[in-house]
Amino acid sequence: MAEPVVTANGAHPGPEGDATRRDFIHIAAGAAAAGAGVMVAWPLINQMNPAADTLALSTIEFDTSKVQEGQQVVITWQGKPVFVRNRTAAEVAKAKADDTASLKEPQTDAERTKPGHEPMLVVIGSCTHLGCIPTFGTGDYGGWFCPCHGSHYDVSGRIRKGPAPANLVVPTYEFTSGSTIKIG
Protein backbone atom coordinates (compact mmCIF):
# COMPACT_ATOMS: atom_id res chain seq x y z
CA MET A 1 0.00 0.00 0.00
CA ALA A 2 1.35 3.37 -1.03
CA GLU A 3 1.86 6.25 1.36
CA PRO A 4 -0.39 9.31 0.80
CA VAL A 5 1.45 12.19 -0.86
CA VAL A 6 1.65 15.38 1.22
CA THR A 7 2.80 18.67 -0.36
CA ALA A 8 5.08 21.24 1.22
CA ASN A 9 2.13 23.24 2.66
CA GLY A 10 0.58 20.12 4.16
CA ALA A 11 -2.31 19.79 1.70
CA HIS A 12 -3.26 16.59 0.01
CA PRO A 13 -3.36 17.04 -3.74
CA GLY A 14 -6.70 16.02 -5.26
CA PRO A 15 -7.62 15.04 -8.75
CA GLU A 16 -7.53 17.75 -11.44
CA GLY A 17 -10.51 20.18 -11.17
CA ASP A 18 -11.40 19.47 -7.55
CA ALA A 19 -11.87 22.57 -5.41
CA THR A 20 -9.52 22.90 -2.52
CA ARG A 21 -9.99 24.65 0.79
CA ARG A 22 -7.90 27.53 -0.53
CA ASP A 23 -10.26 27.96 -3.52
CA PHE A 24 -13.24 28.11 -1.17
CA ILE A 25 -11.55 30.78 0.97
CA HIS A 26 -10.81 32.86 -2.14
CA ILE A 27 -14.44 32.64 -3.32
CA ALA A 28 -15.80 33.48 0.15
CA ALA A 29 -13.46 36.46 0.52
CA GLY A 30 -14.45 37.75 -2.94
CA ALA A 31 -18.16 37.44 -2.10
CA ALA A 32 -17.65 39.27 1.21
CA ALA A 33 -15.74 42.06 -0.58
CA ALA A 34 -18.50 42.42 -3.18
CA GLY A 35 -21.13 42.58 -0.41
CA ALA A 36 -19.12 45.22 1.45
CA GLY A 37 -18.77 47.24 -1.78
CA VAL A 38 -22.56 47.22 -2.25
CA MET A 39 -23.09 48.26 1.38
CA VAL A 40 -20.71 51.20 0.92
CA ALA A 41 -22.16 52.26 -2.45
CA TRP A 42 -25.87 52.03 -1.50
CA PRO A 43 -26.03 55.18 0.68
CA LEU A 44 -24.21 57.14 -2.02
CA ILE A 45 -26.67 56.01 -4.69
CA ASN A 46 -29.75 56.34 -2.44
CA GLN A 47 -28.96 59.97 -1.55
CA MET A 48 -29.53 60.90 -5.22
CA ASN A 49 -33.24 60.02 -4.98
CA PRO A 50 -35.66 62.95 -4.51
CA ALA A 51 -36.62 63.78 -0.95
CA ALA A 52 -40.08 62.88 0.35
CA ASP A 53 -41.21 66.51 0.44
CA THR A 54 -40.22 66.91 -3.22
CA LEU A 55 -42.14 63.79 -4.23
CA ALA A 56 -45.19 65.06 -2.34
CA LEU A 57 -45.15 68.26 -4.40
CA SER A 58 -44.59 66.56 -7.75
CA THR A 59 -48.30 66.42 -8.61
CA ILE A 60 -51.40 68.27 -7.49
CA GLU A 61 -55.07 67.78 -8.27
CA PHE A 62 -57.56 70.62 -8.55
CA ASP A 63 -61.30 70.66 -9.24
CA THR A 64 -61.87 73.26 -11.97
CA SER A 65 -65.64 73.30 -11.37
CA LYS A 66 -64.87 75.73 -8.52
CA VAL A 67 -63.73 78.31 -11.09
CA GLN A 68 -66.66 80.29 -12.48
CA GLU A 69 -66.70 81.49 -16.10
CA GLY A 70 -64.50 84.59 -16.44
CA GLN A 71 -62.76 83.88 -13.12
CA GLN A 72 -59.16 82.93 -12.38
CA VAL A 73 -57.79 80.97 -9.43
CA VAL A 74 -54.15 80.87 -8.36
CA ILE A 75 -52.92 77.57 -6.92
CA THR A 76 -49.40 76.63 -5.85
CA TRP A 77 -47.54 73.75 -7.48
CA GLN A 78 -43.87 73.04 -6.69
CA GLY A 79 -43.65 76.47 -5.05
CA LYS A 80 -44.79 78.25 -8.24
CA PRO A 81 -48.09 80.04 -8.82
CA VAL A 82 -50.34 78.39 -11.40
CA PHE A 83 -53.15 80.38 -13.00
CA VAL A 84 -56.27 78.33 -13.68
CA ARG A 85 -58.58 80.53 -15.74
CA ASN A 86 -62.06 79.64 -16.97
CA ARG A 87 -62.24 81.90 -20.00
CA THR A 88 -65.47 83.30 -21.36
CA ALA A 89 -66.67 82.45 -24.88
CA ALA A 90 -65.58 85.93 -25.99
CA GLU A 91 -62.05 85.38 -24.57
CA VAL A 92 -61.76 82.01 -26.33
CA ALA A 93 -62.91 83.58 -29.61
CA LYS A 94 -60.41 86.45 -29.18
CA ALA A 95 -57.58 83.97 -28.45
CA LYS A 96 -58.42 81.93 -31.57
CA ALA A 97 -58.60 85.11 -33.66
CA ASP A 98 -55.14 86.10 -32.39
CA ASP A 99 -53.65 82.80 -33.63
CA THR A 100 -52.72 84.58 -36.86
CA ALA A 101 -51.25 87.66 -35.14
CA SER A 102 -47.55 88.43 -35.11
CA LEU A 103 -46.25 86.56 -32.03
CA LYS A 104 -42.76 86.34 -30.52
CA GLU A 105 -43.30 82.65 -29.84
CA PRO A 106 -45.96 81.41 -32.28
CA GLN A 107 -48.40 78.98 -30.67
CA THR A 108 -52.07 78.49 -31.41
CA ASP A 109 -54.66 78.61 -28.66
CA ALA A 110 -55.41 74.92 -29.33
CA GLU A 111 -51.78 74.04 -28.49
CA ARG A 112 -52.16 75.71 -25.09
CA THR A 113 -55.42 73.99 -24.00
CA LYS A 114 -56.80 70.47 -23.90
CA PRO A 115 -59.31 69.33 -26.56
CA GLY A 116 -62.86 69.56 -25.26
CA HIS A 117 -61.77 71.92 -22.47
CA GLU A 118 -60.84 75.02 -24.51
CA PRO A 119 -62.24 77.57 -22.02
CA MET A 120 -59.97 76.23 -19.24
CA LEU A 121 -56.45 77.66 -19.47
CA VAL A 122 -53.71 76.44 -17.11
CA VAL A 123 -50.40 78.36 -17.12
CA ILE A 124 -47.54 78.87 -14.68
CA GLY A 125 -47.95 82.40 -13.36
CA SER A 126 -44.35 83.57 -13.63
CA CYS A 127 -43.28 86.11 -16.22
CA THR A 128 -40.76 84.53 -18.56
CA HIS A 129 -38.59 87.65 -18.36
CA LEU A 130 -37.49 87.71 -14.72
CA GLY A 131 -40.06 85.55 -12.92
CA CYS A 132 -42.39 88.30 -11.64
CA ILE A 133 -46.08 87.46 -11.19
CA PRO A 134 -48.23 89.20 -13.82
CA THR A 135 -51.71 90.54 -13.08
CA PHE A 136 -54.76 89.73 -15.18
CA GLY A 137 -56.87 92.23 -17.08
CA THR A 138 -54.45 95.14 -17.14
CA GLY A 139 -52.51 94.36 -20.30
CA ASP A 140 -53.00 95.82 -23.77
CA TYR A 141 -54.30 92.48 -25.13
CA GLY A 142 -56.90 91.61 -22.49
CA GLY A 143 -54.64 89.10 -20.76
CA TRP A 144 -51.85 89.43 -18.22
CA PHE A 145 -49.49 92.34 -17.63
CA CYS A 146 -46.20 92.21 -15.75
CA PRO A 147 -45.84 95.62 -14.08
CA CYS A 148 -42.15 95.13 -13.26
CA HIS A 149 -40.83 95.42 -16.81
CA GLY A 150 -43.92 95.89 -19.01
CA SER A 151 -44.54 92.50 -20.61
CA HIS A 152 -48.05 92.08 -22.08
CA TYR A 153 -49.65 88.64 -22.56
CA ASP A 154 -52.92 87.88 -24.35
CA VAL A 155 -55.87 85.81 -22.99
CA SER A 156 -54.04 82.64 -24.05
CA GLY A 157 -50.86 83.55 -22.13
CA ARG A 158 -48.85 84.32 -25.26
CA ILE A 159 -46.30 87.14 -25.11
CA ARG A 160 -47.35 90.04 -27.32
CA LYS A 161 -45.26 93.03 -26.19
CA GLY A 162 -42.39 93.72 -23.80
CA PRO A 163 -39.07 92.13 -22.83
CA ALA A 164 -40.36 88.63 -21.99
CA PRO A 165 -38.84 86.16 -24.47
CA ALA A 166 -41.49 83.41 -24.30
CA ASN A 167 -45.14 82.65 -23.60
CA LEU A 168 -46.37 81.82 -20.11
CA VAL A 169 -45.47 78.15 -19.61
CA VAL A 170 -48.23 75.56 -19.82
CA PRO A 171 -47.37 72.85 -17.28
CA THR A 172 -47.92 69.17 -17.96
CA TYR A 173 -51.50 68.49 -16.92
CA GLU A 174 -54.44 66.28 -17.77
CA PHE A 175 -58.12 66.07 -16.98
CA THR A 176 -58.46 62.96 -14.82
CA SER A 177 -62.22 62.83 -14.30
CA GLY A 178 -64.77 65.35 -15.48
CA SER A 179 -63.51 68.71 -14.25
CA THR A 180 -60.56 67.55 -12.11
CA ILE A 181 -57.09 68.29 -13.41
CA LYS A 182 -53.84 66.67 -12.33
CA ILE A 183 -50.81 68.93 -12.76
CA GLY A 184 -47.40 67.28 -12.94
Active site residue: 12, 117, 149, 152, which one? 149
pLDDT tens-digit readout, 107-125: 888 888 888 888 999 999 8
Q: Give mean pLDDT, residues 29-57.
A: 86
| pTM, rounded to two decimals | 0.68
pLDDT tens-digit readout, 124-134: 988 888 888 88
What 3-state class would DSSP assign to 85?
strand
Provide CB contacts within 8 A for 117, sequence distance 6+.
Answer: 175
Q: Give mean pLDDT, residues 65-93.
A: 90
The pLDDT value recorded for residue 50 is 79
Provide CB contacts within 8 A for 62, sequence distance 6+.
Answer: 73, 75, 84, 180, 181, 183
pLDDT of 180 > 60? The answer is yes
Is 152 among the catalytic positions? no
H or E segment to which residue 93 belongs: helix 89-97
Q: CA-CA distance, 133 to 72, in Å (whole number)? A: 14
